[in-house]
Amino acid sequence: MTFDSNSPRQLLRSRNQRMLAGVCGGVAEYFGIDVNLVRLGAVLGAIVSLGTVALIYLAAWMLMPQDA
pLDDT over threshold 70, residue 61: yes
Q: For residues 60 and 23, is the Cβ–Cβ distance under 8 A?
A: yes
Q: What residues make up the domain containing 30?
A: 23-63
- Assign 33 to helix, strand or coil: coil
Q: Report the C-alpha gap between 9 and 29 in whole angstroms.
A: 11
pLDDT in tens, 21-49: 999 999 999 999 999 999 999 999 999 99
What total of structural domains would you count in the chain? 1
Asked if residue 33 belongs to a domain, the reply is yes
- In sign, the C-alpha dihedral spanning 5, 65, 28, 50 is positive
Q: For residues 28 and 35, is the Cβ–Cβ distance under 8 A?
A: yes
**What is the residue-averaged pLDDT of the chain?**
89
Q: Would you state the pLDDT for residue 43?
A: 95
Asked if residue 7 belongs to a domain, the reply is no
* Confidence grade of residue 5 (pLDDT, cut at 50, 70, 90): low
Going along 1-68, which residue ranges are E strands?
none
